[in-house]
Amino acid sequence: MKALCWYGPEDVRVGDVPEPRCVNPRDAVIRVTSTAICGSDLHLYNGYIPTLRAGDVLGHEFMGEVVETGPAVQNLQPGDRVVVPFTIACGGCFHCQRGEWSLCDNSNPNAWMAEALYGYSPSGLFGYSHLFGGYAGGQAEYVRVPFADVGPVKVPDGLHDEQVLFLSDIFPTGWMAAENCDIEPGDVIAVWGCGPVGLFAIKSAFLLGAAAVIALDRFPERLRLARAAGAEGLDYEHADVVEQLKQLTGGRGPDACIDAVGLEAHGTTADARLDQVKHATGLGTDRPNVLRQAIQACRKGGIVSIPGVYGGMLDKIPFGAAFAKGLAFRMGQTHVHRYMRPLLERIQQGQIDARFVISHRLPLVDAPEAYAMFRDKDDACTKVVLMP
């Protein structure tokens, strides 16, 4: 079958690989009908996430048709259309039972590796390095889905792939980022990064009752999409961000700040430049200047919500400011399973049309070019959907 494989930084290729099969009783095999490139795939593409191996199949946003199920999977039948959460969860551990699906104790076969780095292992993830399980991803014609009896959600008739594909990651991720802000009437939310997760966070914040959303980015087309979603756009390259956010909020500061950028933040400030130098010379792992800004800009007693991915040791975080202002931090991989069904209902009710983020639709064989285009934001690229 065809699959998009990683061979090194900025080297991904579509090759012929063996087809997957059910290995465990709770497995299913899915024929992928639509898959997407996530912003966090770019961290793999750019070589920021360790423990990838040459030949690993990427992709964690996908959906398709069930073609095979293991004997313990009773809720799915061959032919069912399903969306698959990017987090892999067993459903039986303490965290799964609390709805903290991305913290599943039992789905990472390489838990020892994550324990060595993080103390404890989070859940396994599709196509996201061996640190998170080494599972083959879904940018392929077929994919094996472990614990298929608790993960995939059936798609009701009448819904197009593109309407539901993003339930696999970015819609729940944007939603959880907004939900983590504990939005109350009158709240103003600032969102850094108007990529797909940031855009879904903006929409979600409004659906959860935010009075206003201020969106920060540097790309005109992304700011245009944010404004179309109802936010006020702010080009961070031409603004003193903290001062501007104070001005826009009557001096109070945003009630909550969402960092939808993560470890590869761009920026023109001195600390951002220093981060770039440190990363280029191997002295730093992440570029957290958006997180620094969010901490600085957030109002006293506010919340910093972090859906953007961080991987390693973050330098010069103004923790004194966070402490002095009594900030709360909410973060982590999305508990996708928790949100898929409620958000599917919102899609069915017409509260949101998830297709608004899509800029490109391409065949899977064009994935290498699509990665480069998405990374460089060429051709106003915001979201690429791939068809195997």
Partner 1 sequence: MTAAQTSRVEQVTDIVVGGALIALAVREQARGRFALAALGPGIAAQAFFPAVEQRAERSVTIAAPPDEVYRFCRDATHLGRAVPGLLDVRAGQDGDIAWRTRSPLGRAHTWPIVITGEQSPRLLAWRVRDHERPRGRFELRPAPGDRGTELHAVVHYVSRAPAALGATLRTATVDARLRETLRRLKTLIEARELPTTEGQPTGRRWRAAS
Q: Among residues 13 and 341, whose Cβ is nearest to partner 1?
A: 13
User: How far, in Å, CA of 301 to CA of 228, rounded?
Assistant: 30
Residue ranges in contact with partner 1 by CB under 8 A: 1-3, 5, 7, 13-21, 23-26, 53-57, 72, 88, 90-94, 97, 105-109, 111-112, 124, 133-136, 140, 142, 144, 146-147, 365
Q: Among residues 90 and 189, whose Cβ is nearest to partner 1?
A: 90
Q: Among residues 140 and 336, whose Cβ is nearest to partner 1?
A: 140
Structure tokens at 38: 């996530």
Contacts of 119 (CB under 8 A, 6+ apart): none
Q: Shortest approach of partner 1 to residue 239 CB, angstroms?
A: 44
Please say whether the beta carbons of 324 and 312 come within 8 A: no
∠ CA 225-226-232, nearest 5°, is: 135
Q: Shortest approach of partner 1 to residue 261 CB, angstroms?
A: 30
Q: Among residues 105 and 235, whose Cβ is nearest to partner 1?
A: 105
Q: Shortest approach of partner 1 to residue 125 CB, angstroms?
A: 12
SS (H, E, C) the chain: CEEEEEEECCEEEEEECCCCCCCCCCCEEEEEEEEEECCCHHHHHCCCCCCCCCCEECCCEEEEEEEEECCCCCCCCCCCEEEECCEECCCCCHHHHCCCHHHCCCCCCCHHHHHHHHCCCCCEEECCCHHHCCECCCCECEEEECCCCCCCEECCCCCCHHHHHHHHCHHHHHHHHHHCCCCCCCCEEEEECCCHHHHHHHHHHHHCCCCEEEEEECCHHHHHHHHHCCCEEEEHHHCCHHHHHHHHCCCCCCCEEEECCCCECCCCCHHHHHHHHHHHCCCCCCECHHHHHHHHHCCCCCEEEECCCCCCCCCCCCHHHHHHCCCEEEECCCCHHHHHHHHHHHHHCCCCCHHHHCCEEEEHHHHHHHHHHHHHCHHHCCCEEEEC
Q: Among residues 104 and 202, whose Cβ is nearest to partner 1?
A: 104
Q: Shortest approach of partner 1 to residue 150 CB, angstroms?
A: 10
Q: Among residues 94 and 329, whose Cβ is nearest to partner 1?
A: 94
Please say whether the beta carbons of 309 and 40 come within 8 A: yes
Q: Among residues 17 and 211, whose Cβ is nearest to partner 1?
A: 17
Q: Shortest approach of partner 1 to residue 371 CB, angstroms?
A: 15
Q: Among residues 17 and 358, whose Cβ is nearest to partner 1?
A: 17
Q: Shortest approach of partner 1 to residue 363 CB, angstroms?
A: 11
Q: Among residues 347 and 386, whose Cβ is nearest to partner 1?
A: 386
